Structure 1
Amino acid sequence: MKNKNIKSLAVVFLALMFTSCVKDLDLTPKDPNIITSLTVYNTPQAYKEGLAKLYATFSVSGQQGPSGQPDIAGIDEGFGNYLRQYWNVQELPTDEAVMAWNDASIKDFHWQTWAPNDVFISAIYSRIMYTVALCNEYIRATADNTDADIVKYHAEARFIRALAYSHAIDLFGNPPFVTEADAPGAFFPKQTTRAELFTYIESELKAIENELGAPRFEYGRADQGAAWTLLAQLYLNAKVYIGQDKNTECIAYCNKVIAAGYTLASKYANNFTADNNLSPEMIFPITCDGQNTQSYGGMTYLIHAQIGGTMSPAAFGVGGGWGGIRTTKALVNKFADNTGATDKRAMFWSDGQKFEINDIGQFTDGWAITKFSNLTSTGAAAPHAHPDFVDTDYPVFRLADVNLMYAEAVLRGGTGGSAANALTYVNALRERAYGNTSGNITAGQLTLDFILDERARELFWEGHRRTDLIRFGKFTSASYLWPWKGKVAEGAATQSYRDLYPIPANDLGANPTLKQNTGY
């Protein structure tokens, strides 16, 4: 079963967040019921519960769920969820997703017309920095503890912080930078550079490698496999981040993951069901639970918002559809047979849906996606079945992505791997998708263009597409167009500065040391 320790613990962190402001007073309350930093971590279980809050920052957005005590202000608690906004900024500006709703500036993502005052960009920026701040506090509190379990918790907190900073380097490039060495509220956080942040994330992940648990030691917790995968991802994108190829390093860490015992799930769809915690290829998930992690963001959003038109919510294990997100013909056309009869990854709903998107605001313009479900792999009800909230976990890292990263890094000239292995790893995904070898490719067909399209077929709607398109030089350029890119029906190039999001205007106003990203 899923790790039920990933839940919100408001009292722990409300106490911790204010500790540093009064530390110099060195006062201890006489009332034993008052929680302070001296008493909150008085048992090993308390440390684990504190760690759970760090994981929970990705899946829930408040202190009680699903609403009522939000972590950040200025946006609806459901909209302000980390996973929901991360998915939006990674998928909505691409060929893989469009949004029908008229909420604030949400359509600006697909049109690539966002501005520095965009409330959704501010939300993901704030979520990233909130997670970093909580991790810093926890890392301070556990720094000198030598208990074996707490040493591991400390390393996990550093991984979570590194993951949040990896989102920051990818989305914003040059964010403000703080660690546990910086006292909260004592200064304006200084802006880092992409190169400095790259080196920091790399050094953090290498430093904790031997302190994390072995791969798959406990589902839902960061382990060595998660750290190796994040390093491989960082190295694969190094040319974008720091102007240097790190493909050899990418291959080295892919090799570690591949040798760690992960295997592909027997069926592709089993990675996206309410019991996907059983998938042997899951490396690191954001865990969701219909009872314990109730939020209108995260997987609740992804499953409900993909349902509309003639689709039956009950067929996906939920009580209703929100009629919001679907895809463009550019993704559909990447499948030779888009019915799913041959390539089982073609998980589309066309009944009542138009192939062409004439009106981005109409859910029935564009084919719908059926990838995520709140039913189990056998079609049974979710373990904690609920009409609104779901049990399906979000696959942050899975083995299929590592296979494709390995192949791409080999094609880009990295050493330590082989073209033969790259072909084997790619064809393993295609054999699962086709159910036989009929979809296998030859060595001559394994090109970088093929890899980009195969990543879309294998990983669509898993939060990779914007990063992939930027790495291949196709996100803003005219070399690849899709419907309504650039707010033009047939698609148009946009300005290259949009490869980065702007530093939110409200943070620029609050921190005079920050400089805006070029172009905004």
Structure 2
Amino acid sequence: MKISFKYITILFLCILGMNMTLVSCTSDLDVTPKDDDEFLSEAFFQDQDSYKQVLAKLYAGLYVGGNDGDSKADIAGIGGDFSSYLRLLFVNQEFTTDEAVIAWADGTLPTLNTQTWSPNNEFLYGTFSRAFYEISLANEFLRQTTDEKLTARGVDSSLKTDIAYFRAEARFLRAFSYANLMDIFGNVPITTENDPVGFFYPEQKTRAEVFAYVESELKDLDASLMASKTNEYGRIDKTAAKFLLAKIYLNAKVYTGTEKYNEAAALCADIINNSAYTFANVPYRYLFSANNDRNGAQSEFIFPVVSDGNAIRATGGGMSFILHASIGGSMDASQYGMNGGWYGIRTRKEFVNLFPDATATADKRGTFYTDGQTLDINNIGTFTDGYAVTKFTNVNSDGSAAQRNDIPDTDFPMFRLSDAMLMYAECAVRGASGTNMTTAVGYINQLRNRAQASTVTSEEVDLDFILDERARELFWECHRRTDLIRFGKFTGGDKIWQWKGGVKDGVATASFRDLMPIPAKTIQANPTLKQNPGYSN
């Protein structure tokens, strides 16, 4: 069943906003609360239900940007809808690539479409701030759940056992945020529960140091997370930690200069063969339907970001943003289970051309809406320029209605087994030890059979094919920017798409844009931080 956050009393941390968190890792819980929904830390944790409530807050932060959905924003100065973790990941991973473009002219958003962003981009500041907010929340939870504090509060042994798992999950979610920060921004500060509470400037670490920290945490968590598939749906287990570790190993050459494809392949093989997660032998569209937590798709969801139209009141965050913003033109929103469209997100023709057709005939994954839409994007600000994408829907897989049509039920599959299969195949093509090309091609054809696409042979599977197949299988799942960088095709001229570099037909862009700039506001708050090369504040 889905986790309901709506009726959980939420601990409101970081009242003073993200600048304080970045410069000090301060205990904002010591600030006098503004209303009855805010609690001082020590008083709050006297209630033994509080521990799971804070854990719920950590998970909810992946979807919503504040308490009670989008209202009561977590981060001062940044709206709850604007600062949704999932929404910002989507903005970074998709709009900057060939997979998506957005019509809106909000602030500096258009510069993400064209790879012309600067350190003053508020969406990058939101991304940085949201990740560090989650880290701050996890750190405070870990400070408040030591054995010493639990014993002093008289917490019984049964709850202590549960809290041990909660702590492991908090550490995973912290590592997940550091992995995203490392991927997007490179050199970032590291703060943990062991850092002092009070004003100080956290030290900026190199990308390789952040990698080493995340790697160490994920390895250590194998001993403390719950066994594979034994936790509540939507919560983390050992397999999620292995998956994230495989993901950073796959990109290790980008992060550290040293390849770790052997290690990535071994972890993926273990996940595929030894975890309780199984390939979802259901139609591809089931994976992105409103009931994807129970229609068979969930068997391969290692880490879903849970949605619930009744329980999670987020009108502008998470899946509500992705679904609303991808509807416009002549599209009938009711066909996708929604109450309207926001005329925003489409895809670019280079991505459409990765499929044998635009009608999902020869590959069911190519779900485009073309009526009234042009393949070419002459004007980014016009929704009907570019094909719309109908991958996600707020309709149950049997055609019945979801709970409501303003906020979707559709869960977002952050990690799924199909990705592990494609990661294994990529490692095999790259010559990783212990891999087998016959096995790798078998995994690829398993995915293609589900999509009713033609099968391929080992002779057809090279690195270019792998990159394209990852796009066909995983598009709009927040992987594309990272994938293109790993393959050396995000910046530069090896891969061009419309409006890359701000020109309709696309041009090469400078390689320094493989890293996003450290936001200017963040450097203003912590002047010890150094900007990434190529950018000026």
TM-score by length of 1: 0.94
- Offset at residue 210 of structure 1 (A): 2.0
What secondary structure is seen at the aligned counterpart in 2 of 1:258? helix
Match of 1:227 among 238, 241, 246: 241
Could you list the runs of 5+ residues in structure 1 that have no partner in the other structure? 24-32
1:389 equivalent in alignment to 2:407:
yes
Match of 2:527 among 503, 512, 516: 512
Matched, 1:90 2:110: no
CA contact (8 A) 1:21 1:184 kept: no
Task: Summarize the Cα distance change of 1:158–1:388 in structure 2 as closer, same or farther, 3 Å threshold.
Answer: same
Report the 3-state secondary structure (helix = DSSP H, G, I; strand = E; otherwise coil) of the residue aligned with 2:427. helix
Deviation at 1:13, TM superposition (A): 4.0
Query: Are the counterparts in 1 of residues 6 and 68 from structure 2 also a CA contact under 8 Å?
Result: no
Question: Alpha-carbon deviation of 1:257?
Answer: 1.2
The equivalent of 1:126 in structure 2 is 129
Kindly provide the CA deviation profile for residues 105-126 of structure 1, in whole angstroms up to 9, marking residues without a partner as x: 1110111000101111100110
Deviations 1:80-127 (A, max 9, x none): 211111100110010000111111111101110001011111001100
What pairs with 1:136-285 in structure 2 (closer than 5 Å)? 136-144=139-147, 147-217=160-230, 218-259=232-273, 260-265=275-280, 266-278=282-294, 279=297, 280-285=299-304
- How much is the aligned-residue C-alpha RMSD, in angstroms? 2.3
Partner of 2:338: 318
SS at structure 2 position matched to 1:422: helix
- Cα deviation for residue 71 of structure 1 reads 1.0
Q: Distance in 2 between the 1:433 and 1:137 partners?
A: 45
**Structure 2 match to 1:60:** 64
Structure 2: runs of 5+ lacking an equivalent: 31-36, 151-156
Partners of 1:114 and 1:439 in 2: CA distance: 39
On the 8 A contact 2:11/2:57 being kept in 1, the answer is no
Question: Given that residues 75 and 119 in structure 1 are in contact (C-alpha distance below 8 angstroms), is that contact kept between their aligned partners in structure 2?
Answer: no
Q: Which residue of 1 aligns with 2:3?
A: 3
Structure 1 residue matching 2:303: 3-state secondary structure: strand
Distance 1:111 1:21 in 2: 38
Change (3 A) 1:125 1:519: same
Of 290, 294, 297, 2:317 maps to 297
Q: Tell me the distance in 2 between the aligned counterparts of 1:468 and 1:290.
A: 31
State the one-letter code of the partner of 1:165. Y
Q: 1:131 to 1:11 in 2, by over 3 A?
A: closer
Aligned residues: 509
Structure 2 vs 1, CA of residues 299 and 43 (structure 1 numbering), >3 Å: closer, same or farther?
Answer: same
Cα distance in 2, alignment partners of residues 34 and 115 from structure 1: 36
Q: Is the 8 A contact 1:7 1:56 kept in 2?
A: no
CA distance in 2, matches of 1:480, 1:227: 32
The 1-side partners of 2:84 and 2:9 are apart by: 16
Q: In the TM superposition, what is the alpha-carbon distance from 1:57 to its structure 2 partner?
A: 1.0
C-alpha distance in structure 2 between counterparts of 1:165 and 1:173, whole Å: 10
Residues 236 and 405 of structure 1 are in contact (CA less than 8 Å); yes or no, is this contact kept in structure 2? Answer: yes
- Return the alpha-carbon distance in structure 1 between the equivalents of residues 372 and 123 of structure 2: 31
Q: 1:353 maps to what in 2?
A: 373
Report the CA distance between 1:509 and its aligned residue: 1.0
Counterpart for residue 501 of structure 1:
516
Q: Are 2:48 and 1:48 equivalent residues in the alignment?
A: no
- What's the CA shift string for 1:132-171, capped at 9, x where partnerless? 1001101111232572211100000000000000100000
- The two structures have a TM-score, normalised by structure 2, of 0.91
The percentage of aligned residue pairs carrying the same residue is: 49
Do 1:350 and 1:367's aligned partners in 2 also have CA atoms closer than 8 Å? yes
Q: 1:77 aligned to 73, 77, 80, which one?
A: 80
**Which residue is 2:476 aligned to?**
461
1:340 to 348, 353, 360: 360
Supply the distance in 2 between the matched residues of 1:15 and 1:79 (Cα, whole angstroms): 17
Deviations 1:264-287 (Å, cap 9, x if unpaired)?
221111111111112211110111
